[in-house]
Structure 1
Amino acid sequence: MIELTLIGIGTGGATQLTLDAAKAIASADLILIPHKGAEKDDLAGLRRSICDTHAGAGTAIATFDLPRRDSADPDYRHGVDRWHDAIARVWQDTIRAHLPGLSGRVALLIWGDPSLYDSSLRIADRLTLPLTRRVIPGITAIQALCAAHAITLNTVGAPVVITTGRQLRDHGWPPGADRIVVMLDGDCAFDGLDPQGVTIWWGAYLGMPEQILIHGPLAEAGPEIRQVRARARAAHGWIMDIYLMDRGGALPG
């Protein structure tokens, strides 16, 4: 029987690793590290650095090429399902190649937390290997964003909506919410909003030495974020960012 552990490693800072995460890494027999192309080599490098620090002497490290999603598929959900199927096959093949007895502890290091806007658990559901699953929670990008700006996520007694850039672009501001967190935004979806009265707290590379923070009225901060984001992406070859917006005029707290 295989024990598959999905380990939340936070948003990139080595000090964000929890004691439970470090213990799980140390006890793993095999750790799988995805390679997302030459432009994102430093992401694999960060995972390897964590393994160099915390993995046990007998832990095997296996790198695999992460399949790319077909962005041309007109049916988004269908395209994502096919992509997850392909990733599951690669996981399975890699585990079989490096754990031929199909027994032991296998781990994947997941940015943020495996339960929040991450598909690792859904991909694990597709595996046909004999296994049990375990999740080690990690610091999320939402936590890191609020901490970096020294704000609270919510206003007093009010809800918060967590959504995606795709949803914001296609459907606008979620009804009934004054405060929203936007994740997985590949192209500054806030540009499609009426900026009047909206405040934004934005962050990229949270927890890393390259961390960037911008805060202010959307009408002023939005164009700045777009420019800074483009420069940072060109410099690093990738970007991971997140933002919180408020249109109720209330201070966080």
Structure 2
Amino acid sequence: MPEPVKVRILGVGMGPQHVTAEVAEALRSADYVLAAEKADGDPLLALRREIVAAHPGAAGPVEVVAVRDPERDRSAGLTTGGYESAVTDWHDARAARYAAVLQQRAGTAAFLVWGDPSLYDSTIRIVEKVRALGVDLDYDVLPGISAPQLLAARHRMVLHDVGRPVHLTTGRRLQEAVAAGLDNILAMLNPPPERLDFTGLADWTIWWGANLGAAGERLVTGRLGDVLPAIAEARAAAQAQDGWVMDLFLVRRT
């Protein structure tokens, strides 16, 4: 009876410099890395290749197997339900493509997850979907350096006041958190600032960062109403330099 496929879900921060010794050892033990390819010349696929090249095994860098990523409905006007449905369909399609590769190649596969797999990443969910499709697999998860950790370090701050909570959410649900009375909010998975609703937050303080740890890293902080134009400019600059943009921010009532 064949051995189950071994899958290793590895948090890699934002590049080779963030890979822990534990993750590097796991990466070297893999037979191949499965990586989504979002478009021809995908810069994030290239960055994954850099990570693999920086941590080679005895026989050299592990092979990177690129899997074309399915299209996802990214319409700006999606409701919360519509967004969740679009993401579910996208994950189902991803799982089917990964399942085909894993069944064909078997062995030990690794997924390299930006930041840490515990925060706004669906690799674990997708691997569970692959298993539900009938692929006999076992998997483990190793942590990485998360974007909130990097944001706090870059701004030389603590994410919460003494004895107080910090609320993690998405930019889409920012006003929902504010309406619930929360006043120390970290938002990830953000659209451009012109598509975010900052109503009533002009006097709050914002600590914002994009592409943390990458060449195009940008940071902005200040009274939110004053620095929004600077954030829009910095976000565009990060996109232009790296070819992609991932940003997050903490907002706190003054």
TM-score between both structures, scaled by the size of structure 2: 0.88
Aligned to 1:62: 65
CA contact (8 A) 1:7 1:108 kept: yes
What SS does the aligned partner of 1:15 have?
A: helix
Gaps of 5+ in 2: none
Which whole-Å CA distance do the structure 2 matches of 1:86 and 1:142 have between them?
29
Does residue 38 in structure 1 map to residue 40 in structure 2? yes
Is 1:19 matched with 2:21? yes
SS in 1 for 2:178: coil
* Partners of 1:237 and 1:210 in 2: CA distance: 9
Letter aligned with residue 176 of structure 1: G
In structure 2, the partner of 1:121 is 124
* 1:200-253 deviations in Å (ceiling 9; x for gaps): 000111011221111111011112102221343245432011111110x3xxxx
Q: Which runs of 5+ in 1 are unaligned?
A: none
Letter of the structure 2 residue corresponding to residue 93 of structure 1: A
Q: In the TM superposition, what is the alpha-carbon distance from 1:192 to its structure 2 partner?
A: 2.9
Deviates more, 1:190-199 or 1:75-84: 190-199
Which of 19, 23, 30 is the aligned partner of 1:28? 30
Q: Secondary structure at the match of 1:125?
A: helix
1:207 counterpart residue number: 213
The answer on whether the counterparts of 1:32 and 1:63 sit within 8 Å (CA) in structure 2 is: yes
Q: CA deviation at 1:193?
A: 2.2
Q: How does 1:236-247 map to 2 (within 5 A)?
A: 236-247=242-253
- How many residues get paired? 241
Q: Root-mean-square deviation (CA), in Å? A: 1.9
Deviation at 1:68, TM superposition (A): 1.8
User: Alpha-carbon deviation of 1:153?
Assistant: 1.0
Give the AA of the match of 2:251: M
Distance, in Å, in 1 between the alignment partners of 2:227 and 2:24 is 38
Cα distance 1:158–1:148, how it changes in 2: closer, same or farther (>3 A)?
A: same
3-state SS in 2 of match to 1:76: helix
Identity value in percent: 39
Contact 2:177 2:185 in 1 (8 A): no
Correspondence for 1:192: 198
Residues 216 and 238, structure 2, Cα contact 8 Å, conserved in 1 = no
